[in-house]
């Protein structure tokens, strides 16, 4: 049901019945390693291209989520997924393997919550019994497409972010134990005129704040309603800017209750990731791996995940365009009784 | 509401309240010219790149649809759109101009009906009052990205299709006069092993037939229920294959009541378009321009539009992958009373 101008309340309480998370070797060295289902030791995943490796990550995550939900592929009504590759080939080729009716989406790194918001909406309105939602990225595939081949060894400024190799998938269902998808807010494009693709955190922070403001306004709640608000993926630079903007706009968010997915998956002391992590897979694996596990353990009851995306392309950058950014928010709640 | 495995029945009868269609000069020489709102004489649309010209096409179509619906941009809850450009920049940059909460989608040339199906679903479930749905393509931008720069003048085989320069947009609303969106069927990926990107009609035809079969099965209707079934964009080669497949699968479709958008927009006698037309904009402008006008005149009462998409990328082609294809169907009906 529409709430306010751009939010949905899911009054039928759709559930995330199961999830699947698959990551690469570098993510397996980070602080959240224990929260992921599969950690690959080989960045190629036994494939002959980075692109095929990314598709394989997603296929594995999707199959895990379907199995963990106690379903077969034939029972899943729709698959909603997207990624950063041109023409979202990772998701489309995985959709071929899965043979589930498919809705391709693109929101750059906001895809994780775009797909989850739409999946929850379809289940809530009885337009589906089971929906598979996903997002994925692969560091080497993304570097090659958006920047330089990894082998070139180009230097990066400290504002740059490191693309996560990972895929996260979930099954949203009418019934089930576990985490409820309570509401979602679909973001508008915010573009503050930044043109530097090595400073995406700064570009995306205003979009995250705009969507959080819209969410609080549409739902008529205060930030304190949530045990945790998590953006993704602003990383260190963007996180600081978001904090400044909260203060400027008088949004009272307790900084101990505000995290960013881009700052959670790597160990800054030991892993060279500049400002932090990014990529469609980042907020997907942090949410479905780490945050959901904390909710199921009872450590967190209500969280708001605000996935952010920088909707540029190499062509738009080369033509001197600024970076349009977006953020989609989904609120997750744990019922008292399990 | 879910009907069967992969279809939706829109029991609250969402309406297409208004549309906007904008095309380029070549489409303005075709047989449907009178059905389009704006025909540009200049393929650049006064912009300094093909990509910006494509974005401008979409912005104009969207603004027309909003105005024709008697709305302001602020009243539209969501904008659902996509295109063929890497990272769907045409839609994302138009979403920045429009400032409407935005859901980016990608289904290659099936995007027109993917966006309309989702828009109708959101309005039907009271998740939105007004949704803008769109798809667009620009011949020169697409040729440059997927094939060769136009200036190179490379030869094409007779199986190739000509990408439409055009944008189509619609406003779906709870109430209004006009055409009702009655149902939709979301397609699965079908891949018959074709690798030739110059023969997409052949690659996509089986996907169109698969979705039509699913639609008829889910809704328990016969093909004769519709005055017209229109695929898009198979063009001549794909159309013939689809007809053969209908026969093989014993789907009794009267060929006089089966059209393809790719065969409608250009004049084969005078315009060199090989097998016919393609591109996200093709089925969008043929549906919102030509077919809707025929419905409003009372010439057609019930139609099924089956937009087809080839979900390849230049990278997947270069890596020797076959072409995964999809088709999404939306049924439109005209009420007796206007």
Q: Does A6 touch chain B (CB under 8 A)?
A: yes
Residues of A in contact with B188 (CB under 8 A): 95, 99-102
Question: Which of B71, B87, B316 is the best mutation test for A, with the most CBs of A within 10 A?
Answer: B87
Kindly indicate the confidence band of residue A155, based on its pLDDT and cuts at 50, 70 and 90.
Answer: confident
pLDDT average, residue stretch B70-94: 97
DSSP B51-105: HHHHHHHHHHHHHHHHHHTT--GGG--EEEEEESSGGGHHHHHHHHHHT--EEEB
Query: Residues 154 to 183 of A: which have CB under 8 A from any B CB?
Result: none
Q: Is the pLDDT of residue B98 over 80?
A: yes
Strand partners for A104: A81
Q: Is A55 an interface residue toward B (CB < 8 Å)? A: no
Q: Collect all residues with Cβ–Cβ distance below 8 Å to A132 and sequence separation of at least 6.
A: A62, A65, A66, A76, A78, A79, A80, A81, A98, A100, A119, A169, A170, A171
Q: Average pLDDT, whole number, for chain A?
A: 96
Let me know if A279 is exposed, middle or buried by CB neighbors in 10 A (0-12, 13-18, 19+).
buried
Across A93-98, average pLDDT: 97
Query: Residue B336's pLDDT is what?
Result: 64
Tell me the C-alpha distance between B199 and B251, whole Å. 24
Q: B26, B17 in Cβ contact below 8 A?
A: no
Structure tokens at A47: 């494939």
Q: Is the pLDDT of residue A227 over 70?
A: yes
pLDDT for position B151? 82
Please tell me which residue of chain B has the smallest CA distance to A314: B86
Is the pLDDT at A338 greater than 60, yes or no?
no
Res A336: pLDDT: 64
Q: Flag whether pLDDT at A112 surpasses 80.
A: yes
- Contacts A318 to B, Cβ<8 Å: none
* Dist. CA B22–CA B25, nearest whole Å: 10
**Mutation choice for A interface testing from B84, B191, B308, B316 by most A CBs within 10 A:** B316
Give the gap in angstroms from C-alpha A76 to the nearest C-alpha of chain B. Answer: 9
The verdict on a CB contact (< 8 Å) between B122 and A121 is: yes
Contact A96 B316 (CB under 8 A): no
**What number is the average pLDDT over the span A168-180?**
95
Give the pair of three-digit tokens for residue A11. Answer: 């009054």
Q: Over 80: is that where the pLDDT of B239 sits? A: yes
Q: Looking at per-residue confidence, does A153 or A30 come out higher? A: A30
What pLDDT does residue B149 have? 79
Minimal C-alpha gap between A295 and chain B (Å)? 27
pLDDT band with cut points at 50, 70 and 90 for residue A177: confident
Using 50, 70 and 90 to split pLDDT, how confident is the model at B338? very low
Put simply, the answer to whether A313 touches B125 (Cβ < 8 Å) is no
Of B51, B118, B127, the CB nearest to A319: B51
CA distance A31 to chain B (A): 31
Using a CB–CB cutoff of 8 Å, tell me whether A195 touches chain B.
no
So what's the ipTM on this one?
A: 0.97
Measured CA to CA, the distance from residue A325 to residue A309 in angstroms comes to 6
- Interface mutation vs chain B, best among A4, A98, A127, A188, most B CBs within 10 Å: A127
Residue A228: strand pairing partners: A303
Instruction: List, as one string, the DSSP characters of B112-173.
Output: HHHHHHHHHHHHHTTS-SEEEEEEEE-HHHHHHHHS--GGG-----TT-EEE--EEEEEEEE
pLDDT band, residue A193 (cuts 50/70/90): very high
Mutate to test the interface with B, among A186, A212, A318 (most CBs of B within 10 A): A186
Q: What percent of chain B has pLDDT over 90?
A: 93
B65 pLDDT band (50/70/90 cuts)? very high
Q: Within a 10 A sphere around the Cβ of A125, how many other Cβ atoms?
A: 23
Strand partners, B260: B231
CA distances from B52 to A147, A190, A245, A314 (A): 22, 19, 31, 14
The pLDDT of B78-106, averaged and rounded, is 97
- Encode pLDDT of A286-307 as tens digits: 999 999 999 999 999 999 999 9
> Would you say residue A22 has pLDDT above 60?
yes
What distance in Å separates the CA atoms of residue A97 and residue A55, rounded to the nearest whole number? Answer: 10
Tally DSSP H helices, then E strands, for chain B: 9, 15
Average pLDDT (A182-192) is 97
Q: Which of residues 287-306 of B touch A (CB under 8 A)?
A: none
Mean pLDDT of chain B: 96
Q: Does A128 touch chain B (CB under 8 A)?
A: yes
Q: Look at B1 and A315 and tell me if their CB atoms are within 8 Å.
A: no
Rounded alpha-carbon distances, angstroms, from residue A4 to A120, A186, B79, B127: 18, 11, 16, 10
User: With an 8 Å Cβ cutoff, are B186 and A89 in contact?
Assistant: no
**Residue B337 above 70 pLDDT?**
no
Shortest distance between the Cα of B102 and any Cα of chain A, in A, equals 6
What pLDDT is attached to residue A317?
92
The strand pair at A166-173 and A161-163 is best described as unpaired
Q: List the domains of chain B with CATH numbers.
A: 2-173 (3.40.47.40), 179-334 (3.40.47.40)
Q: Does B9 touch chain A (CB under 8 A)?
A: no
Q: How confident is the model at residue B155 (pLDDT cuts 50, 70, 90)?
A: confident
Query: Is the CB of residue A132 less than 8 Å away from at least one CB of chain B?
Result: no
Could you tell me the CA-to-CA distances from B117 to A331, B16, B98 in Å, in that order?
25, 11, 21
| Chain A nearest-CA residue for B183 | A127
With CA atoms as reference, report the closest residue to B131 among A2, A296, A13. A2
């Amino acid at each position: 049901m529409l709430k306010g101008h751009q939010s949905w309340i899911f009054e039928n309480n759709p559930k995330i019945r199961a999830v699947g998370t698959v990551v690469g070797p570098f993510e397996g060295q980070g602080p959240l390693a224990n929260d992921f289902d599969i950690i690959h030791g080989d960045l190629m995943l036994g494939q002959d291209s980075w692109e095929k490796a990314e598709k394989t990550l997603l296929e594995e995550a999707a199959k895990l989520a379907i199995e963990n939900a106690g379903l077969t592929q034939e029972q899943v009504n729709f698959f909603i997924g997207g990624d950063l590759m041109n023409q979202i080939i990772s998701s489309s080729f995985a959709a071929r393997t899965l043979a589930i009716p498919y809705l391709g989406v693109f929101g750059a790194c906001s895809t994780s919550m775009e797909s989850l918001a739409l999946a929850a909406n379809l289940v809530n309105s009885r337009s589906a019994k089971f929906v598979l939602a996903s997002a994925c990225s692969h560091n080497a595939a993304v570097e090659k497409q958006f920047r330089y081949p990894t082998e070139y060894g180009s230097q990066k400024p400290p504002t740059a972010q490191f693309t996560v190799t990972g895929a996260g998938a979930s099954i949203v269902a009418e019934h089930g134990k576990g985490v409820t998808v309570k509401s979602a807010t679909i973001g508008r494009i915010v573009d503050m005129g930044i043109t530097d693709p090595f400073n995406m955190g700064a570009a995306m922070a205003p979009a995250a704040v705009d969507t959080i403001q819209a969410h609080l306004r549409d739902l008529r709640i205060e930030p304190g309603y949530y045990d945790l608000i998590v953006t993704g993926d602003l990383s260190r630079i963007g996180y600081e800017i978001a904090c400044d903007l909260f203060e400027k706009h008088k949004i009272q968010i307790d900084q101990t209750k505000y995290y960013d997915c881009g700052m959670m998956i790597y160990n800054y002391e030991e892993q060279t990731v500049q400002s932090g992590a990014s990529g469609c897979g980042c907020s997907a694996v942090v949410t479905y791996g780490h945050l959901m596990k904390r909710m199921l353990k009872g450590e967190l009851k209500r969280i708001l995940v605000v996935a952010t995306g920088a909707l540029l392309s190499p062509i738009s950058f080369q033509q001197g365009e600024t970076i349009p950014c977006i953020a989609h928010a989904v609120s997750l709640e744990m019922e008292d009784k399990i």
